Structure 1
Amino acid sequence: MKNNNLKLGYLYIIATPIGNFNDISKRALITLNKVDYILAEDTRKIGILLKFFNIKKKIYSYYEYNEKKKINFFLKKINQGYNIALVSDAGTPLINDPGYRIVQLCRTKYINIKIIPIPGPCAAILALSISGLPTNRFCYEGFLPHKKNKRIKRLNELKLENRTLILYESTHRILKCLYDIKKIFGKDRYIVFIKELTKKWESIYGNNISNLIKWLKLDVNRLKGEIVLVIKGYKESINSKDQLSPKVIQTFLKLKKELSIKKAIKITSDIFSIKKNLLYKFYIKKNTNYNNNKVE
């Protein structure tokens, strides 16, 4: 319904169900019923949803390759007082879906256009919540690059990420992706494989990557569907040989009071047959912490 009382219409960002239509919010239905136009990446998918709820609205296709061409047309409509809804094929808009550009322009150039979010499902957040992995700090990466060399490069960049990682992956690429993760992250990294969230074939399986790959290959049907991978963050392994015992530390600190750092490290190293480098790192770390905590 055109906004006749104000000069400008509204841009609504509306989350849609990721599988089960019953997950749509009452507010989303009310808003979809009252807007003038709906923007969607796949008009057929949204058409099925609207038909299910008996909503009849004009739907425009809006995706990566036509966004630049159509964006001015939609912004003009909003400036004329029409209300427009931007929806995702499934889940929250802009999360691995088109829409960033129109929202960005409304925030930076057309600042008088009001953007109203209508919250709802998001596969990444839902998968994280049931993964059993830390949820207080996480890193959403979406889809990894399609080409192997670029995928390997990105995984190397993520290898030491200590936050929980969330990835999306497709049926035909999942095994290739997992083999690459195994190669870069190691065979023992824990991964939760989640597919078809909220749908009939919803499943969740967590294990180290080697066992996950074996489990997937036992049944080809396990590879089918929309997939989310939730990966345990990197944790530096503790090698007991590289740890300084309290006795070593005590000896080093006593020697340091009477001798130069170089001599204290050498003597301690000789006494306990440990690497001088470990003592040097301990000294640097302790000295850095001391300086950082000094009150000027």
Structure 2
Amino acid sequence: MRWRKGRRSSNVEDRRGDSSGMGGGLGNLLALAPLLLRSKKGWLILAALAVFYFFFDGNQLFQDGPPQPASVDSGQPGAPGDEVAEFVSVVLADTEDTWSELFRAAGSQYTPPKLVLYEEMVRSACGMNSAAVGPFYCPMDSRVYLDLRFLNDLQQLGAPGDFAFAYVIAHEVGHHVQNLMGVSEKVQQARAQSDKVTANRLSVMLELQADCFAGVWAFYAHRDRQLLEPGDLEEGLAAAAAVGDDRLQQRSGRTVSPDAFTHGSARQRSHWFGRGFESGDVNQCNTFAGLDD
């Protein structure tokens, strides 16, 4: 992607290394808690660690943690994390430009989300989450939450490249767009009144629409600002397929079970992302009409 000259967003909230964001040492402490609480000795160890953390610089205890995220340019681990954070800021800014214009054309006003960078664990209005859940959007506080090391996870899933990461960010922003449109609330209400299979199906529809919205953003990023380079679209399609439920079930050694899908198959996800990119039309993202595509 041609991202280095792009505008930086003012809506990035960096909680990396911030104990109030529950990252760093405290995140590790919380991760150990369930195991330690099983015994009396574990209680004593947990209490000692808590005292050390709060009265001394407990983060030093965990400083030799996971490696820095991979570079958005080279794809090699060990690049400075701030370069990746800068990339995220540019992508977020570009989604702001795209959706602001689309909302304006529809006679409405776009309120951009905040994007929170964190490490390991984070507290949101949707509760406590670890980085293991991957990037997520919380409609209750209108924030996207992202651990930059997810870029390494994408590479391990077979989806390297800067635009693969941009697709993930744009997908989460797509959930924010759904929230502003009232789609998320309607789906949540319908899921609460449905059986598990139907609830999963509704979740798939919602996720595929966010994929399509990510494609719509990519259309304008390419047409109006020439951010995309040759091969970027293929990276996005590969990333959409890599996080398909069937691929993830297979990677975990499970039997593929469509009734358990919550995000859509590899084919569905790449199809809807591609549909948004080809049309640049939000009206083409009606995934609720059916899932046969």
The TM-score with structure 2 as length reference comes to 0.26
Larger helix proportion, structure 1 or 2?
2
Larger strand proportion, structure 1 or 2?
1
Kindly name which structure, 1 or 2, has the bigger radius of gyration based on alpha carbons.
1
The TM-score with structure 1 as length reference comes to 0.26
